[in-house]
């Protein structure tokens, strides 16, 4: 069970000194324990690292 499932999140990642911010709804974890985020555009992303903020 994922405590973040169903919550609206903002995830900030720093990759190659560039910040990328995604928002969406957490839809669980995959078999590797990575967060699954359904972005506002409908795409599901697998997130390995990043800062996670719960937003309302």
Looking at residue 1, its pLDDT comes to 56
Looking at residue 3, its pLDDT comes to 87
Q: Which CATH number fits domain 8-54: 2.60.40.3880, 2.30.30.100, 3.20.20.150, 2.40.10.10?
A: 2.30.30.100
Share of the chain above pLDDT 70, in %: 98
Query: Cα angle vertex 10, ends 37, 24, to 5°?
Result: 40
Looking at residue 56, its pLDDT comes to 78
Mean pLDDT of the chain: 92
Distance, in Å, from the CA atom of 18 to the CA atom of 29, rounded to the nearest integer, reads 25
Question: Is pLDDT of 35 > 90?
Answer: yes
> Residue 34 in contact with residue 47, Cβ under 8 Å?
yes
Where b means 16+ CB within 10 Å and e means fewer, 26-55 reads: beebeeeeebbbeeeeeeeeebeebeeeee
Q: Residue 13: which pLDDT band, with cuts at 50, 70 and 90?
A: very high
């Amino acid at each position: 069970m994922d405590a973040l499932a169903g919550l609206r999140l903002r995830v900030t990642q720093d990759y190659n000194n560039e910040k990328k911010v995604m928002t969406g709804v957490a839809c669980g974890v995959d078999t590797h324990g990575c967060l699954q985020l359904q972005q506002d555009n409908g795409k599901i992303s697998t997130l390995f690292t990043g800062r996670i903020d719960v937003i309302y």
